Amino acid sequence: MSKPRILVTRRWPVAVETVLSERFDTTLNKDDVALEAGQLREALLTYDAVLPTVSDKLPSQLFEGEAIRTKILGNFGVGFNHIDVAAAKERGVVVTNTPGVLTDCTADIAMLLLLSVARRGGEGEREVRAGAWTGWRPTHLVGTKVTGKTVGIIGFGRIGRAFAQRCHFGFGMDVVFYNRSAIDPMEASRYGAMQLQTVEDVLEVSDFVSLHCPGGAENRHLMNADRFTAMKPGAFLINTARGDVVDEAALVTALERGTIRGAGLDVYEAEPHVPERLREMDNVVLLPHLGSATEETRTAMGMKVVDNITAFFAGHQPPDRVV
């Protein structure tokens, strides 16, 4: 029997590309240039499996029309709001993701953003690199103390919990959270955290608000102008979840008006576009979607995709099936 034809849409860690090439009739994207909509549509017509990333938009139109050949989308990443999973499901396309293996590294990046924005790490670094540091003085780049403050977490899944653990046990912070479903208080206490009823309850008491819920329609613009106003004056927003969870225009206004003090962002509404007004502000720390970007994690993510499509083509249920 011939091997399934698979397309890997971006460069992946070499160890993973090697395994994929051994097991499948694999096309790699050697130049690592993101595919355009037409190329993705063509891929759905010609490959048995397409392995996309967050940079591949797969809206419903791409699944419409002529019958598609692709039977599985093995997404590289836990978030899949770039894929219209309802449309995929309708056309009988299985979608898998890579949960678990990026929990720690994404929580670490959230901590990095929280610390950087509170302690003005980005500003200080830019100053030193520019050769503009004139020497130590008591009033220089004075930031906000982190230890002992209250952090509010929106979305208490794997990453939210790992972040809570770091904040509480690493930095002595009080941790409150909002989660759609009720979490057993004993479970929450393992992470030093306490559930509150509403997003507003969390915003009202938090010095730092960190987003850890999925992107997509259900949470689109969860952080809007009203909710920025509901945050404590002087509070900070951290977003390592998805750009669409935040109304970016409202965030820019809230930052410019001083409604909130600062923001640490790893994700944006229209990546890789980052609004110029954000890039001009000193009270924001801006990273280029690095949440899972460690050697260990990116390899583990790739191997999860390998496991998912291997199981699928062997006629088994893929371990991380989304639809």
What minimum distance in Å lies between the beta carbon of 297 and ligand 8YV? 8
What the block records as the tokens of 243 is 């750009």
Residue 53 CB, nearest approach to ligand 8YV (Å): 3
What is the number of the residue whose Cβ is closest to ligand 8YV? 77
x-or-dash string of contact with ligand 8YV, 22-61, rule CB under 6 A: -------------------------------xx-------
Q: CA-to-CA distance for 175 and 183, rounded, in angstroms?
A: 14
Q: Is 167 in the site for ligand 8YV (CB under 6 A)?
A: no
Retrieve residue 77's tokens: 């990443």
Residues 6+ apart with CB under 8 A from 295: 13
Q: With 0-12 CB in 10 A as exposed, 13-18 as middle and 19+ as buried, what is 31?
A: exposed
CB-based contact 56:34 (threshold 8 Å): yes
Site for ligand 8YV (CB under 6 A): how many residues?
Answer: 9
219 is a site residue for ligand 8YV (CB under 6 A): no
Exactly one of 20, 48, 63, 77 binds ligand 8YV (CB under 6 A); that residue is: 77
**Residue with the two structure tokens 């003085």:** 137
Q: Are 297 and 105 in contact (CB under 8 A)?
A: yes
Q: Which is nearer to ligand 8YV, 53 or 224 (CB)?
A: 53
Catalytic residue among 120, 161, 242, 298: 242
**φ, ψ of residue 6 in degrees (nearest 5):** -125, 150
Residue 212 is among the residues annotated as catalytic for this protein: no
Sorted by sequence, the CB contacts under 8 Å of residue 73 that are 6+ apart come out as 49, 50, 51, 52, 58, 83, 88, 93, 94, 95, 96
Q: Minimum distance between the CB of residue 84 and ligand 8YV, rounded to whole angstroms?
A: 16
Q: Confirm or reject binding of residue 122 to ligand 8YV (CB under 6 A).
A: no
Annotated catalytic residue 140: no
Which element (helix H / strand E) includes 211? strand 208-211
Cβ at position 157, least distance to ligand 8YV in Å: 12
Asked if 191 interacts with ligand 8YV (CB under 6 A), we say no
Write the interaction track for ligand 8YV spanning residues 94-113; mark x where CB under 6 A is met and - where it is not: --------x-----------
Helix (H) or strand (E) holding 74: strand 72-74
Active site residue 64: no
Footprint (CB under 6 A) of ligand 8YV, residues 280-319: 291-292
Q: Which of 17, 271, 277, 321 is catalytic?
A: 271
CA distances from 40 to 9, 45, 50, 83, 177 (A): 9, 9, 9, 12, 39
Among residues 6, 50, 51, 79, the one that binds ligand 8YV under rule CB under 6 A? 79
Catalytic residue numbers read 242, 271, 289
Residues that bind ligand 8YV (CB under 6 A): 53-54, 76-79, 102, 291-292
